[in-house]
A and B are shown apart, each in its own frame.
Chain A
Amino acid sequence: MNLKVRIAIISVVINVFLVGIKFLLARWTYSSSILADAIHSLSDILVSLLVLSGLVLSILIKKSQTARWRKVEDIVAIAVGLFILLAAVQIFAGAVAGPPKELIRLPIALVGIFLCILVSGFVARLKIRVGEEQSSRSLVADGYHSRMDMYSSIGVMSGLVGGMIGLNLDAQAAGLIALLIAATGLEVIYGAVKALLRGTSLEEYWLANLFGHPLVGSKKTWRLGRKSLEIILWMRHRSRSLVLWPLGIIILLWLSSGLYVVSPGERALVFRFGRLLDPSGQGPGLHVHLPWPVDMMQKTSMSAMRRVEIGFRTQPTNWGEDVRSYQWESRHIVGKYTKKPEESIMFTGDENFIDINTIVQYQVAEITSFLLHVEDPETLVKSAAEEAIRIVVAMEPLDDLLTSERSRVEKQILEVLHKTLANNDAGIKVTAVKLQDVHPPLEVVDAFREVASAREDKNRLINEAYAYRNEVLPRARGNVVGEIHKAEAEKQERIHHARGEAQKFMALFGEYQKAREVTEVRMFLETMEQSLTGLEKFIVEPNASKEPLDLRFFKGQEAEIYEGVER
Chain B
Amino acid sequence: MKRKLIVPLILAGFLILLLNSILFQVDETEFVIITQFGKPVRVISTAGLQVKWPDPAQSLRRLDRRLLLFDPEAGEFLTQDKKNVLVDTYIGWRIEEPLKFLEAVKERPVAEIFLADIASATIGAALGNYPLSALASIDPLEIKVDQIMEEVSAKCRDKAGRDYGIEILQVHLKRLNLPDQNKESVFQRMRTERERMAKKYRSEGEEEAIKIRAEADRECRAILSEAYEQAQKIIGEGDAEAARVYAAAFNRDPRFYKLVRTLESYTKFLNEKTTVVLSTDSELLKLLTEGKSQK
In the assembly, what is the distance between CA of A449 and CA of B78, in Å?
Answer: 10
Question: Nearest CB to that of B245 among chain A residues?
Answer: A511
Q: Are B38 and A261 in contact (CB under 8 A)?
A: yes
In the assembly, what is the distance between CA of A468 and CA of B200, in Å?
Answer: 9
Q: Are B186 and A456 in contact (CB under 8 A)?
A: yes
Question: Nearest CB to that of A178 among chain B residues?
Answer: B13
Against B, the Cβ 8 Å flags (1 = close, 0 = not) of A44-65 are 0000000000000000000000
Q: Which of B14, B38, B117, B196 has the most CB of A within 10 A?
A: B38
B227-282: which have CB < 8 Å to A?
Answer: 228-233, 235-237, 239-241, 243-244, 246-247, 250-251, 254, 257-258, 261-262, 264-265, 268-271, 273-279, 281-282
B44 at the A interface (CB under 8 A):
no
Among B15-23, B45-53, B136-144, B287-295, the stretch that binds chain A is B15-23
B141-200: which have CB < 8 Å to A?
Answer: 159, 163-164, 177-182, 184-186, 188-189, 191-193, 195-197, 199-200
Q: Are A517 and B254 in contact (CB under 8 A)?
A: yes
Q: Are A515 and B261 in contact (CB under 8 A)?
A: no
Q: Which of A304, A457, A518 has the most CB of B within 10 A?
A: A518
A67 at the B interface (CB under 8 A):
no
When distances are taken between beta carbons in the complex, the residues of chain B under 8 Å from A404 are 80, 128-129
Q: Are B6 and A190 in contact (CB under 8 A)?
A: yes
Contact residues on B (Cβ < 8 Å of other chain), bracket? 35 or more
Task: Please judge, given known A-B contacts A463-B195, A486-B214, A510-B240, whether A537 and B277 are in contact too, CB under 8 Å.
Answer: no
In the assembly, what is the distance between CA of A169 and CA of B256, in Å?
Answer: 157
When distances are taken between beta carbons in the complex, the residues of chain B under 8 Å from A454 are 185
Q: Are A478 and B210 in contact (CB under 8 A)?
A: yes
A234 at the B interface (CB under 8 A):
no
When distances are taken between beta carbons in the complex, the residues of chain A under 8 Å from B117 are 307, 359, 361, 432, 434, 436
A366 at the B interface (CB under 8 A):
no
A105 at the B interface (CB under 8 A):
no
When distances are taken between beta carbons in the complex, the residues of chain A under 8 Å from B125 are 406-407, 410, 435
In the assembly, what is the distance between CA of A532 and CA of B210, in Å?
Answer: 46
Q: Are B73 and A172 in contact (CB under 8 A)?
A: no
In the assembly, what is the distance between CA of A446 and CA of B182, in Å?
Answer: 10
Q: Are A504 and B128 in contact (CB under 8 A)?
A: no
In the assembly, what is the distance between CA of A405 and CA of B129, in Å?
Answer: 8
When the two chains form the complex, which single residue of A486, A517, A529 contacts B217, counting CB atoms closer than 8 Å? A486
Q: Are A478 and B206 in contact (CB under 8 A)?
A: yes
Q: Are B40 and A284 in contact (CB under 8 A)?
A: yes
Task: Please judge, given known A-B contacts A284-B38, A522-B261, A554-B275, whether A463 and B189 are in contact too, CB under 8 Å.
Answer: yes
Task: Please judge, given known A-B contacts A172-B55, A182-B9, A478-B207, whether A437 and B35 are in contact too, CB under 8 Å.
Answer: no
When the two chains form the complex, which single residue of A175, A410, A468, A544 contacts B121, counting CB atoms closer than 8 Å? A410
When the two chains form the complex, which single residue of B37, B229, B251 contacts A518, counting CB atoms closer than 8 Å? B251
Q: How far in angstroms is the closest Cβ of chain B from A516? A: 9
When distances are taken between beta carbons in the complex, the residues of chain A under 8 Å from B14 are 176, 179
When the two chains form the complex, which single residue of A261, A470, A473 contacts B37, counting CB atoms closer than 8 Å? A261
Q: Are A464 and B37 in contact (CB under 8 A)?
A: no
Question: Nearest CB to that of A260 among chain B residues?
Answer: B38
When distances are taken between beta carbons in the complex, the residues of chain B under 8 Å from A512 are 243
Q: Are B273 and A534 in contact (CB under 8 A)?
A: yes
When distances are taken between beta carbons in the complex, the residues of chain B under 8 Å from A262 are 38-39
Q: Are A285 and B38 in contact (CB under 8 A)?
A: yes
Against B, the Cβ 8 Å flags (1 = close, 0 = not) of A29-57 are 00000000000000000000000000000
A490-515: which have CB < 8 Å to B?
Answer: 490, 492-497, 499-501, 503-508, 510-512, 514-515
When the two chains form the complex, which single residue of B40, B127, B188, B265 contacts A460, counting CB atoms closer than 8 Å? B188
Task: Please judge, given known A-B contacts A492-B222, A500-B228, A533-B268, whether A406 and B215 are in contact too, CB under 8 Å.
Answer: no
Q: Are B82 and A451 in contact (CB under 8 A)?
A: yes
When distances are taken between beta carbons in the complex, the residues of chain B under 8 Å from A327 are 76, 86, 179-180
7 closest residue pairs by CB, A with B: A265-B103, A500-B232, A504-B236, A286-B37, A515-B247, A500-B229, A478-B210
**Contacts from B to A (Cβ < 8 Å):** 2-3, 5-7, 9-10, 13-14, 16-17, 20-21, 33, 35-40, 55-56, 59, 62, 73-76, 78-80, 82-84, 86, 88, 99-100, 102-106, 113-114, 117-118, 120-122, 124-125, 127-129, 159, 163-164, 177-182, 184-186, 188-189, 191-193, 195-197, 199-200, 202-204, 206-211, 213-215, 217-218, 220-222, 224-226, 228-233, 235-237, 239-241, 243-244, 246-247, 250-251, 254, 257-258, 261-262, 264-265, 268-271, 273-279, 281-282
Contacts A453-B185, A454-B185, A496-B226 known; list 15 others, CB within 8 Å: A176-B17, A186-B6, A190-B2, A217-B3, A325-B88, A325-B177, A327-B86, A457-B189, A463-B193, A479-B210, A482-B213, A506-B236, A518-B250, A519-B246, A519-B247
